[in-house]
């Protein structure tokens, strides 16, 4: 909630700041327009907004994980680290109530620490010392070293002078002191607003993990092998899907028999998410490579068939007529008119299919795989290695984005006439 | 025997709801080689249907088309067609578009190269021959379409409102170009248009068609196309007969439209 409010505040503040500081450059045509609101063509992504948006995400990530990359003043309050003290008042049968101090050393998880040395102090209730990890909590058996134990009716009645009963709690400067139903004290140092690394590691930890895995690999395979296997599956599945799907789409666009025969199948399979096929594919083809490639083949097949069909149906009849009256044969019309005319639609389909395949391969690897980006994050999550999970998610996103960019570049180079007919 | 003969053409479209539309009824026409015919008429009079039958895209329900003595059964290179727009191949550059016909006939570049370059010169697109067609203006695209049709050396050129989508100024220039190409190449041309002025300027013969059923209403033989070859088209338009004929035809079409409206209202 706090993070969300900060995010909105940064959004509004940076907007106002940029509008105030940057005068609109009057170089482009859009700036000459007096009416821009409602004109969709006048809306271009603001570069500054894009940069600030990405920086904000990293800033919030860093600030709420105590990252070294973010200056300390920007850090959200961290968990309490150091020696916490509180006093308790105990009663026992036959003696007057007595006070003693508890000193608890709160340490960052992963470090080895020993309990602080404390003098026992005066009276029958003795001073205690213990250790608790940050973000954790620990039971403090204060009665153990006291002269009058539980067998003599030892019970804690107040913490820092505030009365406490089983099930109750007292807030101290260092955290919360609660009491279990049986009367044992429970110390929970204050957590602050930062996330614990096992839930969300700081960005530098993710980068360090990336370096380590890129160098040493993970689960008997290098990082490049994991990503390479995922990519290989996508490309193989897409290749076979296009190999069968494009001719199928052409046949459906050119012959009424093919159209009638395959329309029910294609229209039925199209809305079935490929993920729903994973169980069946595993039953039929197992969890090895063939199963995954069959799954991706099925994911790409219908998309490519529909794209090719749309490409053929989209040819203007005047183009076909023109070719006929210029003396072209059926085969020449296929080769020189229908196929080039359908290429823009096929490229659009290929972009969609690659995106779907990439999503499907990760999901399939989450279910079962020995190598792959999805397998990497799935196994890491089982060991609560959140840094690997986040690293994997970022890599999967970057690769998916990269695939789309490459497809767009290929489209620009190969079908420059797209949308220009 | 050379020339184009249309014998008692009738075309009936059966609609899915059981009714049928008589698009053409008993249209006969004799066109000598090298004649330029313009066809005019209100929408729905079957002019495009007529052109599609001559091109071979449609088979008439009755009658037949004869070109140089043989019957037309389908589209062929002997009858070239120029469409209103959007019929160029965007994936080919200008020169590849123009040379499409000869290339499909399996000819080598040394056989068609000079002819194609000459045609590009004639239509004024020599510098643009490497350009993609979608980079050209509407008027230039129609010049590519004309050159593409001529490169195939057809006996008859069929034009379906080839200048309909152009602005007035470009249109006037293109009209001069069509006349020039007609005189230079001596092709038989059938030109369909919505514009009475264009029909008068470009039609050596002019056919006014009437709708429901589509039929020939009146035929004119006009001197303006021959005048226009040597003269400025604006001077031709000042010819006293030009205005008179234009008024006559406009009145004729106006009456047809009125009649359709009346019939539609009566039906309701």
State the pLDDT at residue B267. 62
Q: What number is the average pLDDT over the span B216-242? A: 75
Q: What number is the average pLDDT over the span A1-21? A: 88
A102 neighbors A85 (Cβ within 8 angstroms): yes
Residue-averaged pLDDT of chain A: 88
Q: Residue ranges of the domains in chain B?
A: 4-78+154-267
Q: What number is the average pLDDT over the span A5-23? A: 86
Q: What number is the average pLDDT over the span A30-51? A: 77
Contact yes or no for A321 and B55 at CB 8 A: yes
Residue B239 in this model has a pLDDT that exceeds 80: no
Q: Which residues of B touch A322 (CB under 8 A)?
A: 81, 83, 87-88, 145, 148
Query: Which tens digits make up the pLDDT trace of B174-200?
Result: 888 888 888 888 888 898 988 888 888
Query: Which tens digits make up the pLDDT trace of A160-191?
Result: 888 888 888 888 888 899 998 888 889 988 88
Q: What number is the average pLDDT over the span A212-227? A: 86
Q: What number is the average pLDDT over the span A232-253? A: 94
Q: Which residues of A touch B148 (CB under 8 A)?
A: 322, 326
Query: Which tens digits make up the pLDDT trace of A41-92?
Result: 777 788 888 899 999 999 999 988 888 888 888 888 888 888 888 898 988 8
pLDDT confidence of A301, banded at 50, 70, 90? Answer: very high
Contact yes or no for B57 and A321 at CB 8 A: yes
The span from the CA of A128 to the CA of A145, in Å, is 8
Name the minimum distance, in Å, from the CA of A358 to any CA of chain B. Answer: 31
Residue B101 in this model has a pLDDT that exceeds 70: yes
Q: What percent of chain B has pLDDT over 70?
A: 96
The span from the CA of A229 to the CA of A221, in Å, is 10
Q: Which residues of A touch B101 (CB under 8 A)?
A: 326-327
Q: Is the pTM of this model over 0.90?
A: no
Residue A118 in this model has a pLDDT that exceeds 90: no
Query: Which tens digits make up the pLDDT trace of B142-176?
Result: 888 888 988 888 888 898 888 877 888 888 888 88
Report which listed range, A109-123, A232-246, B105-119, B179-193, is most confident.
A232-246
State the pLDDT at residue A401. 93
Task: Give the β-pairing of B4-14 and B20-31.
Answer: antiparallel
Nearest in space to A374 (alpha carbons), one of A361, A387, A385 = A361
Name the minimum distance, in Å, from the CA of B157 to any CA of chain A. Answer: 10
Residue B243 in this model has a pLDDT that exceeds 60: yes
Name the minimum distance, in Å, from the CA of B252 to any CA of chain A. Answer: 31
Chain B residues whose C-beta sits inside 8 Å of any chain A C-beta: 55-57, 74-77, 79-81, 83-84, 86-91, 100-101, 104-105, 132, 134, 145, 148-149, 152, 154, 158
- Between A360 and B8, name the one with better pLDDT: A360
Select the residue from B89, B96, B190 to test the A interface by mutation, using most A Cβ atoms within 10 A.
Answer: B89
Contact yes or no for A327 and B77 at CB 8 A: yes
Nearest in space to A278 (alpha carbons), one of A393, A186, A354, A362 = A362
Q: Which residues pair with B65 in a beta bridge?
A: B6
Chain A residue with minimal CA distance to B52? A321
Select the residue from B73, B75, B98, B141 to test the A interface by mutation, using most A Cβ atoms within 10 A.
Answer: B75
Name the minimum distance, in Å, from the CA of B238 to any CA of chain A. Answer: 37
Name the minimum distance, in Å, from the CA of B250 to any CA of chain A. Answer: 30
Q: Which fold has domain A205-414?
A: MetI-like fold (1.10.3720)
Contact yes or no for A326 and B76 at CB 8 A: no
Say how far residue A118 (Cα) sits from the centre of its chain.
Answer: 46
Contact yes or no for A319 and B89 at CB 8 A: yes
- Between B265 and B38, name the one with better pLDDT: B38
Name the minimum distance, in Å, from the CA of A350 to any CA of chain B. Answer: 19
Q: Using only the alpha carbons of chain B, give its radius of gyration.
A: 19
Architecture in CATH of B4-78+154-267: 3-Layer(aba) Sandwich (3.40)
Contact yes or no for B100 and A416 at CB 8 A: no
State the pLDDT at residue A26. 53
B245 neighbors B222 (Cβ within 8 angstroms): yes
A to B CB pairs, distance under 8 Å: 77
State the pLDDT at residue A28. 63
Select the residue from A322, A411, A413 to test the B interface by mutation, using most B Cβ atoms within 10 A.
Answer: A322
Q: Where are the CATH 1.10.3720.10 domain residues in chain A?
A: 205-414
Residue A352 in this model has a pLDDT that exceeds 90: yes
pLDDT confidence of A31, banded at 50, 70, 90? Answer: low
pLDDT confidence of A419, banded at 50, 70, 90? Answer: confident
Peptide bond into B213 cis (omega under 30): yes
ipTM of the complex: 0.88
Q: Which residues of B touch A326 (CB under 8 A)?
A: 77, 80, 100-101, 104, 148-149, 152
State the pLDDT at residue A342. 92
Q: Tell me which H or E stretch contains A244.
A: helix A223-254
Task: Give the β-pairing of B215-221 and B205-210.
Answer: antiparallel
Query: Which tens digits make up the pLDDT trace of B60-77?
Result: 888 888 888 888 888 888
State the pLDDT at residue A25. 57
Nearest in space to A206 (alpha carbons), one of A377, A7, A378, A50 = A377
Q: Which residues pair with B11 in a beta bridge?
A: B24
Report which listed range, A111-125, A379-393, B38-52, B116-130, is most confident.
A379-393
Chain B residue with minimal CA distance to A343? B91
- Between A356 and B26, name the one with better pLDDT: A356
The values of phi and psi at residue A357, to 5°, are -65, -40
């Amino acid at each position: 909630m706090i993070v969300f409010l900060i995010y909105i505040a940064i959004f509004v503040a940076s907007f106002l700041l940029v509008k105030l500081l940057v005068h609109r450059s009057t170089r482009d045509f859009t700036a000459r327009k007096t009416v821009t609101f409602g004109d969709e063509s006048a809306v271009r992504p603001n570069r500054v907004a894009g940069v600030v948006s990405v920086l904000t995400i990293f800033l919030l990530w860093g600030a709420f994980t105590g990252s070294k990359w973010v200056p300390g003043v920007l850090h959200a309050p961290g968990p309490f680290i150091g020696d916490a003290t509180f006093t308790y008042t105990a009663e026992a049968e036959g003696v007057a109530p007595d006070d003693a101090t508890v000193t608890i050393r709160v340490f960052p998880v992963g470090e080895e620490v020993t309990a602080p040395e404390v003098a026992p102090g005066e009276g029958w209730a003795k001073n205690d010392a213990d250790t608790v990890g940050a973000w954790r909590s620990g039971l403090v058996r204060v009665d153990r070293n006291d002269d009058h134990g539980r067998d003599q009716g030892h019970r804690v009645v107040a913490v820092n002078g505030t009365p406490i009963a089983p099930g109750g709690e007292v807030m101290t400067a260092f955290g919360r002191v609660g009491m279990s139903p049986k009367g044992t004290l429970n110390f929970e140092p204050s957590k602050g607003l930062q996330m614990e690394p096992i839930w969300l590691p700081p960005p530098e930890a993710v980068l360090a993990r990336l370096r380590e895995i890129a160098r040493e690999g993970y689960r008997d395979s290098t990082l490049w092998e994991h990503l390479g296997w995922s990519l290989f599956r996508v490309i193989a599945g897409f290749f076979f899907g296009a190999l069968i799907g494009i001719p199928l789409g052409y046949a459906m666009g050119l012959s009424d028999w093919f159209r009638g025969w395959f329309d029910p199948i294609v229209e039925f399979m199209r809305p079935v998410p490929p993920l729903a096929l994973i169980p069946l594919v595993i039953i039929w083809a197992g969890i090895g490579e063939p199963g995954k490639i069959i799954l991706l083949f099925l994911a790409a097949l219908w998309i490519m068939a529909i794209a090719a069909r749309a490409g053929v149906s989209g040819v203007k009849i005047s183009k076909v007529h023109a070719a006929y009256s210029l003396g072209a044969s059926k085969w020449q019309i296929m080769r020189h008119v229908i196929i080039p005319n359908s290429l823009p639609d096929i490229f659009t389909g290929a972009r969609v299919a690659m995106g779907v395949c990439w999503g499907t391969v990760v999901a399939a690897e989450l279910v079962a795989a020995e190598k792959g980006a999805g397998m990497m994050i799935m196994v890491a999550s089982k060991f609560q290695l959140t840094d690997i999970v986040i690293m994997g998610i970022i890599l999967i996103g970057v690769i998916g984005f990269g695939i789309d960019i490459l497809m767009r570049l290929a489209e620009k180079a190969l079908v420059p006439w797209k949308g220009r007919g | 025997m050379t020339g184009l003969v249309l014998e008692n053409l009738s075309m009936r479209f059966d609609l899915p709801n059981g009714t049928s539309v008589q698009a053409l009824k008993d249209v006969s026409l004799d066109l000598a080689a090298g004649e330029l015919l313009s066809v005019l008429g209100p929408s729905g009079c079957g002019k495009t249907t007529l052109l599609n039958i001559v091109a071979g895209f449609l088979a008439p329900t009755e009658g037949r088309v004869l070109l140089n003595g043989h019957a037309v059964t389908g589209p062929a290179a002997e009858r070239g067609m120029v469409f209103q727009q959007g019929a160029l191949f965007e994936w080919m550059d200008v020169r590849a578009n123009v040379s499409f016909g000869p290339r499909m006939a399996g000819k080598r570049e040394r056989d068609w190269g000079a002819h194609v370059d000459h045609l590009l010169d004639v239509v004024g697109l020599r510098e643009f021959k490497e350009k993609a067609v979608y980079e050209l203006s509407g008027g230039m695209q129609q010049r590519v379409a004309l050159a593409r049709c001529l490169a195939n050396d057809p006996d008859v050129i069929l034009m379906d409102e080839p200048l309909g989508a152009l602005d007035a100024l470009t249109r006037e220039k293109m009209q001069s170009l069509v006349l020039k190409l007609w005189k230079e190449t001596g092709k038989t041309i059938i030109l369909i248009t919505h514009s009475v002025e264009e029909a008068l300027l470009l039609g050596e013969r002019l056919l006014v068609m009437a709708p429901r059923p589509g039929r020939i209403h009146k035929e004119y033989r006009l001197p303006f196309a021959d005048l226009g070859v040597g003269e400025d088209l604006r001077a031709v338009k000042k010819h006293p007969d030009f205005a008179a004929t234009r008024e006559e035809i406009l009145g004729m079409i106006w009456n047809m439209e009125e009649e359709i409206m009346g019939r539609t209202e009566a039906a309701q």
